[in-house]
Amino acid sequence: MLQLSVIICCYNEKDTIADVIGRTQAVDLGPGWTREIIVVDNFSTDGTREILQQVDNPEIRVIFHERNMGKGMSIRTGIAHMSGDYMLIQDADAEYDPAEHARFCRKAAETKAAAIFGSRVLGGQVKYEYAHAYLGVRLLTAVTNLLFGGNLTDVATATKMVRGDVVKSLNLTTTDFNLDFELPNKILLAGHDILEIPISYNPRTYAEGKKITSRDGIKALLVMLRDRLGLTTVFKKEVGAVRPSANEVQITE
């Protein structure tokens, strides 16, 4: 029996968080799989925390950050508290469909892969709201493959599945959106392959709550250079080995 730890990180997602949790729970992962859901709230101020405080389900653990520490730190908090054989990142908005989780589990059971990423471009149906976002992802993916010897088509995908022992060995340090890039950097540097499967994607606009900007893409390039060159001081404020103290995390079981 294998266990999947679904990590849902949220910040001001009151309109979608309950639906995403419900859709995640509704997925039949297939024979041989159990699931835990770890929801990490990054100090939301729009009512998301109040919704999560009402969650009472043995499959779900809710963790509250007592200050905003970035999406990357939320993922790292989830990793620190996971008990599964694999972790899978699920965004709290409606861009990525939790129904895809069963396909990831089948691929993991078949291959025992160290990492499986969901690609938004495999299969030929590419959907982006903004041209600069599409072109930026193509550039970041090409740079990742060049610097780290990967064969990826979509490095910036949010839906990333990684074996538990692998992700806990990577010494992840970023605290913001750059963890999406630090993760594949270090998986590839450690000598593991990253498999991809096609996934659906329903992009939202900035008016609808999209948070990533072109500035994040520039910072991602610098993190790639940091990891390739073995540097540790780039973005010292955000990339240092920061961990939340005990009084900055509240956990509900």
Q: What is the CATH number of the domain that holds 79?
A: 3.90.550.10
**Edge-to-edge, what's the strand order for the sheet holding 249-252?**
194-198, 115-119, 160-163, 86-91, 2-10, 33-41, 60-65, 249-252
Q: Is residue 251 part of a domain?
A: no
User: Long-range contacts for 204-211 (Cβ within 8 Å, ≥24 apart)?
Assistant: 204/93, 204/94, 204/95, 204/129, 205/129, 209/12, 209/13, 209/15, 209/93, 210/129, 211/11, 211/177
How far apart CA 132 and CA 175 sit, in angstroms, is 24
Q: What is the pLDDT of residues 20-36, one digit of tens each?
A: 999 999 999 999 999 99
Q: Is residue 19 part of a domain?
A: yes
Question: What is the pLDDT at residue 124?
Answer: 60
Q: Is residue 167 part of a domain?
A: yes
Coil, strand, or helix at residue 14? Answer: coil
Q: Is residue 250 part of a domain?
A: no
Question: What is the pLDDT at residue 106?
Answer: 98
Q: Is residue 116 part of a domain?
A: yes
pLDDT band at 128 (very low <50, low <70, confident <90, very high): low
| Average pLDDT over all residues of the chain | 89
As a whole-number percent, the residues of the chain with pLDDT over 70 amount to 85
pTM of the model: 0.88
Q: Strand pairing partners for 91? A: 9
pLDDT of 168 over the 50 cut? yes
Which residues, 6+ apart, have CB-to-CB distance to 214 below 8 Å? 132, 136
Number of structural domains found in the chain: 1
pLDDT of 239 over the 70 cut? no
Sign of CA dihedral 168, 169, 173, 177: negative
Question: What is the pLDDT at residue 235?
Answer: 45
Structural domain for 48, as ranges:
2-245
Q: Is residue 43 part of a domain?
A: yes
Nearest to 134 by CA among 21, 214, 231, 226: 214
